[in-house]
């Protein structure tokens, strides 16, 4: 920022940032109008990864659509699975058993950790801190092996079902998760020593891409980006869903709303998530891991093979027009995904397929606010700001 | 919790009362939802109602703007004078007992125009562009109403119900050289 006034040349240059650029993490494009090294105007372009997820929702049944939600925010698919089925369940008017709610919280918080870790690694890598990338990916790998053991997949998890999850936690889950949350804060401290008081990191991120709380609300920012401005808003606290009201955790906030504060907020959120995982493990209730209504949830395989009732239910669930059919109406359900408010607005016409599914992705709003944070800054800040926002092209373009 | 519920059943949420008072003629329907209220307002008063919600009732946060093509939803069509589209706004407030409000505006196909709310919320800019892109609804007063997700020279509006899932052959006809501008 310092050299801003001296470096004007009076000539305007247009620079295309992306769609293919190592720092865009997906396919985004920003057209920068530069005067020397300062940014006069930034125009973000979205749509390069548009896949028609909303249209697809009108042609798949409620359970089939879960696989599509994996692909929205591909850094934390479990959070997306969770948010989507919660919306359908609220539309159906059912509540899942306590154990299922806790399992979902566990997976959502672990995926928040995985998402923030990937963000941390790549955001630091974009600014040249290569070792942080290695540290955070080492930790993330542990989480991914937990996901793999639980869901059978690393990325395309599709763990939840309308009315529950498709299988219980595996036997060694508690040990693995406890191992992780006891060792993780120490590992995070290593990153703190590498970055938090690092002169270069501070120079590159402090005061860069700042936004005021009023503007942040006006632009629709949510999640860590909103909290970095000082607004202590977290949907897990404001409108507790699942069993979040039973969890004790703090909502970290920043003061300046700049890239550095977004970094600090995410770092503290990871510690808070560890705390939630610990509490959920302590109080993990026994009992069924999904609703026992076989008109919503597919019966156990042994039941389908051994009993005529089970077999009937098994087929009814997967047959068009006989499975999950919410009553006519519409519903909006928001959850706190790692990036912010992830909302699903579902309109049902009473059939087995949604009439309309609208996804409210947090990244869409963050990317829209980018010019506000960039204009007047230096061209080198683009990478720092874009990195701090964690724009995921998959959910941006859907 | 259940006792509280019984009390509120008699007394409507205060937001709903205020809206009924101020927009008596403009409101076409209203209802309570599980996490707030939902109102349907006619097109001419949509901007005034949203402005009132933002400035007077502290619904400072615009969560979402989208639309629904009601072509195949007979019940909705009957209820709102065969208006094909329903533009849907979701608002949120950080204070108050009804955190979420959903404002729906029926739009007829022969007059696809709604007043833009970009002057109230900067975040509405892209949301309205997306709704324009996907449904072909024009937002009057929008500073930059271009397509956002689809290419600029795309024809048609993909989220309309008469648009086929697999497209109209755009993939086969896609001209790479024309794109290199």
By Cβ distance, the residue of B63, B150, B165 closest to A341 is B63
Distance CA B135, CA A40 (A): 33
- Regarding whether A213 and A145 lie in a shared domain, the answer is yes
Express each pLDDT in A177-213 by its tens digit.
999 999 999 989 988 998 888 898 998 898 888 899 9
Q: Choose, out of B36, B38, B54, B64, the residue to mutate when testing the contact with A (most A CBs < 10 Å).
A: B64
| Concatenated DSSP letters of A362-375 | HHHHHHHTHHHHHT
- Regarding whether A13 and A133 lie in a shared domain, the answer is no
- On the question of pLDDT at B169 being above 70, the answer is yes
Work out the widest C-alpha separation in chain B, in whole angstroms.
Answer: 67
User: Shortest Cα distance from A88 to chain B (angstroms)?
Assistant: 13
Do B64 and A218 lie within an 8 Å CB cutoff?
no
Do B33 and A331 lie within an 8 Å CB cutoff?
yes
Do A220 and B165 lie within an 8 Å CB cutoff?
no
User: Shortest Cα distance from B122 to chain A (angstroms)?
Assistant: 5
* pLDDT for res B179: 61
Q: Kindly report the number of other CB atoms within 10 A of residue A301's CB atom.
A: 10
State whether residue B39 sits within 8 Å of chain A by CB. no
Express each pLDDT in B125-148 by its tens digit.
999 999 999 999 999 999 988 899
Spatial CA neighbour of B163 closest among B144, B138, B143, B135: B135
User: Shortest Cα distance from A219 to chain B (angstroms)?
Assistant: 4
* Domain count for chain A: 2
State whether residue B58 sits within 8 Å of chain A by CB. no
**Is residue A99 within 8 Å of residue A177, measured between CB atoms?**
no
Name residue, tokens 């409620």. A62
Assign B6 a pLDDT band (cuts: 50, 70, 90).
very low
- Regarding whether A286 and A171 lie in a shared domain, the answer is yes
Assign B13 a pLDDT band (cuts: 50, 70, 90).
confident
State whether residue B158 sits within 8 Å of chain A by CB. yes
What helix, strand, coil percent values describe chain A, rounded to 5?
Answer: 50, 15, 40
Distance CA A371, CA B63 (A): 20
Distance CA B43, CA A172 (A): 58
Distance CA A252, CA A116 (A): 14
Binding-face residues of B in 94-123 toward A, CB within 8 A? 94, 99-100, 102, 121-123
User: Shortest Cα distance from B169 to chain A (angstroms)?
Assistant: 15
Assign B14 a pLDDT band (cuts: 50, 70, 90).
confident
Distance CA B117, CA B95 (A): 22
Cα A170 → chain centroid: 24
Question: What pTM was estimated for this model as a whole?
Answer: 0.89
Ordered structural domains, chain B, with CATH: 2-121 (3.30.460.80)
Do A343 and B63 lie within an 8 Å CB cutoff?
yes
**Numbers of helices and strands, H then E, in chain A:** 17, 8
Distance CA A175, CA A196 (A): 31
Please report how the helices A259-282 and A381-389 are oriented relative to each other, as an axis angle in degrees rounded to 10.
20
By Cβ distance, the residue of A47, A54, A355 closest to B148 is A47
* pLDDT for res A299: 85
Distance CA A144, CA A95 (A): 28
Distance CA A313, CA A47 (A): 41
Q: For the sheet containing A13-17, what is the strand order? A: A13-17, A29-35, A38-45
Contacts A360 to B, Cβ<8 Å: 63-64, 90
Q: Choose, out of A236, A253, A356, the residue to mutate when testing the contact with B (most B CBs < 10 Å).
A: A356
Counting one residue from A and one from B, how many pairs have CB atoms under 8 Å apart? 93
* pLDDT for res B103: 92
Distance CA A112, CA A335 (A): 12
State whether residue B77 sits within 8 Å of chain A by CB. no
- On the question of pLDDT at B5 being above 50, the answer is no
User: Shortest Cα distance from A201 to chain B (angstroms)?
Assistant: 30
Ranges of chain A with pLDDT below 70: 1-9, 23-24
User: Shortest Cα distance from B146 to chain A (angstroms)?
Assistant: 11
- Regarding whether A226 and A189 lie in a shared domain, the answer is yes
- Regarding whether A197 and A152 lie in a shared domain, the answer is yes
Compute the CA torsion angle A181, A182, A185, A188 (nearest 10 deg): -80
- Regarding whether A127 and A211 lie in a shared domain, the answer is yes
- Regarding whether A328 and A265 lie in a shared domain, the answer is yes
Please state, rounded to an integer, the average pLDDT across all residues of chain B. 84
- Regarding whether A23 and A73 lie in a shared domain, the answer is no
For residue A61, give the DSSP letter: B
By Cβ distance, the residue of A59, A349, A365 closest to B165 is A59
Do B64 and A358 lie within an 8 Å CB cutoff?
yes
* pLDDT for res B176: 72
Angle at B72 between CA B66 and CA B77, to 5 degrees: 75
Tokens of residue A362, six digits: 């947090």
* Domain of A216, in residue numbers: 53-397
Domain of A194: which CATH number? 1.10.645.10
Assign B2 a pLDDT band (cuts: 50, 70, 90).
very low
| Concatenated DSSP letters of A234-258 | -HHHHS--TTGGG--------SS-S
- Regarding whether A369 and A233 lie in a shared domain, the answer is yes
- On the question of pLDDT at B3 being above 70, the answer is no
Express each pLDDT in B76-128 by its tens digit.
888 888 889 999 999 998 887 788 899 999 999 888 899 999 999 999 999 99
- Regarding whether A33 and A77 lie in a shared domain, the answer is no
Do A217 and B88 lie within an 8 Å CB cutoff?
no
Strand partners, A348: A329
Q: Could you tell me the CA-to-CA distances from A158 to A79, A168, A223, A300 in Å, in that order?
A: 10, 14, 23, 18
* pLDDT for res A380: 87
* pLDDT for res A24: 67
Report the run of H or E that residue B33 belongs to, with start and end: strand B27-33
Assign B56 a pLDDT band (cuts: 50, 70, 90).
confident
- Regarding whether A39 and A69 lie in a shared domain, the answer is no
Q: Choose, out of B63, B121, B128, B130, the residue to mutate when testing the contact with A (most A CBs < 10 Å).
A: B63
- Regarding whether A138 and A13 lie in a shared domain, the answer is no
């Amino acid at each position: 920022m310092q050299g801003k006034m001296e470096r004007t040349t009076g000539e305007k240059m247009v620079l295309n940032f992306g769609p293919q650029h190592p720092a865009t993490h997906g396919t985004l494009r920003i057209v920068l109008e530069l005067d020397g090294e300062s940014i006069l105007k930034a125009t973000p372009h979205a749509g390069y990864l548009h896949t028609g997820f909303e249209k697809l929702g009108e042609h798949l049944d409620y359970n089939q659509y879960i696989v599509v939600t994996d692909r929205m925010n591909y850094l934390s698919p479990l959070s997306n699975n969770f948010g989507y089925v919660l919306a359908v369940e609220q539309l159906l008017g059912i509540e899942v058993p306590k154990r299922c709610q806790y399992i979902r919280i566990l997976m959502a918080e672990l995926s928040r950790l995985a998402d923030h870790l990937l963000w941390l690694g790549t955001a630091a890598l974009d600014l040249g801190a290569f070792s942080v990338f290695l540290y955070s990916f080492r930790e993330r790998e542990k989480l991914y092996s937990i996901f793999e053991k639980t869901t059978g997949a690393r990325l395309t998890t599709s763990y939840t079902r309308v009315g529950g999850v498709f299988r219980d936690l595996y036997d060694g889950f508690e040990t693995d998760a406890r191992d992780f949350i006891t060792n993780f804060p120490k590992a995070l401290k290593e990153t703190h020593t590498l970055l938090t008081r690092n002169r270069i990191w501070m120079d590159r991120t402090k005061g860069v891409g700042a936004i005021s709380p009023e503007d942040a609300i006006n632009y629709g920012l949510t999640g860590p980006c909103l909290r970095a401005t000082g607004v202590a808003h977290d949907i897990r606290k404001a409108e507790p869903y699942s069993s979040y009201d039973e969890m004790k955790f703090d909502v970290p906030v920043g003061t300046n709303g700049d890239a550095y504060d977004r970094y600090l907020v995410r770092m503290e959120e990871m510690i808070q998530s560890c705390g939630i995982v610990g509490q959920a493990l302590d109080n993990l209730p026994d009992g069924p891991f999904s609703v026992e209504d076989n008109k919503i949830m597919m019966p156990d395989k042994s039941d389908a093979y051994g009993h005529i009732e089970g077999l009937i239910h098994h087929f009814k669930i997967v047959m068009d027009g006989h499975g999950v059919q919410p009553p006519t109406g519409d519903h909006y359900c928001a959850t706190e995904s790692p990036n912010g408010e992830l909302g699903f607005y579902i309109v049902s016409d009473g059939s087995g397929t949604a009439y309309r599914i609208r996804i409210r992705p947090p990244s869409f709003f963050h990317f829209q606010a980018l010019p506000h944070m960039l204009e007047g800054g230096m061209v080198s800040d683009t990478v720092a700001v874009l990195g701090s926002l964690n724009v995921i092209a998959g959910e941006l373009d859907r | 919790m259940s006792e509280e519920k019984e009390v509120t059943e008699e007394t409507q949420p205060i937001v709903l009362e205020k809206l009924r008072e101020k927009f008596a003629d403009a409101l076409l329907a209203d209802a309570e939802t599980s996490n707030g209220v939902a109102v349907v307002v006619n097109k001419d008063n949509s901007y005034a109602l949203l402005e009132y919600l933002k400035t007077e009732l502290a619904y400072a946060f615009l969560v979402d703007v989208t639309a629904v093509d009601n072509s195949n939803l007979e019940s909705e069509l009957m209820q709102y004078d065969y208006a094909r589209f329903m533009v849907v706004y979701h608002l949120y407030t950080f204070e108050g007992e009804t955190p979420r409000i959903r404002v729906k505006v029926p739009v007829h196909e022969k007059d696809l125009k709604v007043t833009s709310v970009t002057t109230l919320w900067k975040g509405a800019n892209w949301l309205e562009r997306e709704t324009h892109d996907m449904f072909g609804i024009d937002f009057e007063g929008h500073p930059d109403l271009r397509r956002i997700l689809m290419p600029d020279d795309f024809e048609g509006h993909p989220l309309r119900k008469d648009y086929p899932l697999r497209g109209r052959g755009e993939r086969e006809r896609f001209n790479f050289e024309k794109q290199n501008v």
